[in-house]
Amino acid sequence: MKIFVDYDTTLINLIDPWVDWINKRYSVNITSNDINRWYFLGEVFDKTANDFWRSEEYNHYADKEFLLPFEGAVDFFHALEEKYGKSNVIIISATRKHHKEEKIKHAKYYFGITDEQFIASEKEKYEYTKDGILIDDYPLHVMEHIHHNNQKGIVFNYEDRFGWCKLHNYGLDEKFTKFSQITKNDNFSMATSYEQVLKELDDENY
């Protein structure tokens, strides 16, 4: 069994530095809980709200002290490796070309991965995850994975802090419409801690 784990905002804290940047740039005071859909920032502010991670001007992965793993993330990742085997635990992350080299270095620095344990996805994630479980903070990626691959998917909402992960907000993202029944699928689940993910995998004998 392979375990595919998203990187940004699943293993490392991309969102808090981004929110801080937004608050300073637009003189507002939002939190990650206020971001109730995936495209919230670009829609509520403007397209440049996404420059934090899209623009070639910024490459935050090069600063190992700026984007940090969430508390418990490193132990969680190694626990997965111990259970499933190092080669079967894979980070999968939508990655801008100008970030790729530094993002992989970042993951190696904190999680001790090999090159084979990092997929910089250039197409839909479900096309890479056919033979395993996907753990991701973006519900759409999990829904598509379950729909196309009929495999387990877990929406990860660290400490229940992310508005876009919360079930009652799914109706705000029109991309979720065609997958509305997926949330009732036995393969769909949600977790707010790494401990909860590990327990669920154990309980369901994965």
Q: pLDDT value at position 178?
A: 86
Calculate helix-pair angle for 194-203, 73-84, nearest 10 degrees: 20
Neighbours of 183 (CB within 10 A): 17
What is the C-alpha to C-alpha distance for residues 133 and 3, in angstroms, rounded to an integer?
Answer: 5
**Distance, CA of 137 to CA of 125 (rounded, Å):** 13
CATH class of this structure's domain 2-203: alpha beta
Q: What is the pLDDT along the chain (206 residues), one digit of tens a residue?
A: 899 999 999 999 999 999 999 999 999 999 999 999 988 998 999 888 888 877 777 788 988 999 999 999 999 999 999 999 999 999 999 998 888 999 999 999 999 999 999 999 988 999 999 999 999 999 999 999 999 999 999 999 999 999 999 999 998 888 888 898 999 999 999 999 999 999 999 988 88
> How high is the pLDDT of residue 55?
74
Q: Looking at residue 56, what is its pLDDT?
A: 75
The pLDDT value recorded for residue 13 is 97
Whether this model's pTM surpasses 0.75: yes
Amino acid letter, 21: W
Asked if residues 179 and 170 have their Cβ atoms less than 8 Å apart, the reply is no
pLDDT for position 65 = 92
